Structure 1
Amino acid sequence: MPTSQRSSRASAPCLLEWRPSRLLAAALALLGVLAALALIGSELPPPLSLPLALLAAGEGLRLARRERLRPTRLVVIGGDGTAKVDGQAITALCVEWRGPLAFMRFRDVDGRSHRLAWWPDTLPAARRRELRLAAPVKAAAQKASSMAP
C-alpha cells in the first residue's frame, strides 16, 4: 500500500528506578525479632539464650537498616539489547520472575556480578509489564537426544 508507513523495529528504552523495599526491610527486622523469641522460648539456659536473643534481634535490625540505606539505581534497558545501570554499561543481563518479584542479575564493566530485586512495593504492575517486555528472552531448552543413534 502506498499510504502505509513503515514501522520501526526498535522500541523505546525501558527506564526503571530501583529503590530499597520497605517490605523487605520490615521482613528482615521481623525475622530478627522472631529469632530472638525462638531463642528465648528454646530449652537453652537463660544465661545463654538472652545474649543470643539480643544478638539475633540486633542482627535483624542491622540488616533491615542496611537494606533501607542502599542507594537508588537507574536501570535502562534499550530496545537494541544494550543495558545500563547508573549510566554504566552492563553485560550478562538476566531477569527472573518469582510471582510478583523480579530479580535482575548482571555484570558491570569490571566483571563483578550484581543483583537487584524488585518487590511489589517498588515496582507497580505497569512497570512489571514493561520490564517483562524489555528483558532479554532466555533461549528455549534443547530437546534431549535419544539414547540410540
Structure 2
Amino acid sequence: MLAPLSVLGSDLPRIAAWPLAAAAAAYGLWQLRREAGRAPRQLVLATTAGGIDTLDGQPLQACRIAWRGPLAFVHAIGHDGRGQRLAWWPDTLPRPLRRELRLAAAARAASRRDRPMAP
C-alpha cells in the first residue's frame, strides 16, 4: 500500500517514477484480491505426545512453531513429504486461542530440547 508513495519519494526521475508507482499500486491491488479470496487455513496441534498434527484436515509428519516478535511461523511437512510454511500475525486470533497457541508452542519447544547430560 505504501510502495507507490515510496517510489514517488525516491530520487528516481519523475518519468520513471510514475509508471513504476502505478505498477506497484496495481500489483498491490492484485495481491489484495488474491489474498482476500483465499480460504482460511485450519491448524490443529496434537495435545498428546503421540497425537497427530493436522493442517486443513491432512495429517502432518512434522510441525514446528517459531515466533519472531509478534509474528508466528509454522514449518510443517505434510503426509506427502512436501514442506509447507505459514506465517501470520496471531493478533487476528481471539485472545484465548492466541494464549493457547503460545502455550502449545512453548510446551513443544521445551519437550524437544536435547538433554545436557545422560539420564
**TM-score computed with the length of structure 2 as normaliser:** 0.75
Give distance in 1, aligned partners of 2:45 and 2:9: 49
Q: Residues 117-138 of structure 1: CA distance to partner in whole angstroms, max 9, x if unpaired?
A: 3324421221122123334225
Contact 2:91 2:98 in 1 (8 A): no
Q: Name 1:48's counterpart in structure 2.
A: 16
Greater relative contact order (Cα 8 A, min sep 6): structure 1 or 2? 1
Please provide the CA RMSD for this pair: 2.3
Q: Residues 94, 63 of structure 1: CA spacing in aligned structure 2 closer, same or farther, 3 A cutoff?
A: same
Q: Judge conservation of contact 1:96–1:103 (CA < 8 Å) in 2.
A: yes
In the alignment, which residue of structure 1 is the partner of 2:35?
67
**1:129 maps to amino acid:** R
Deviation at 1:99, TM superposition (A): 3.6
Letter in 2 for 1:79: T
Which residue of the partner structure matches residue 77 of structure 2? 107
Structure 1: runs of 5+ lacking an equivalent: 1-29, 144-149
* Structure 2 runs not aligned, ≥5 long: none
**In 2: Cα distance, 1:97 partner to 1:91 partner:** 21
Query: Percentage identity across aligned positions?
Result: 48
Which structure carries more helix by proportion? 2
Match of 1:137 among 109, 112, 118: 109
SS at match of 1:116: strand
Q: CA deviation at 1:101?
A: 2.6
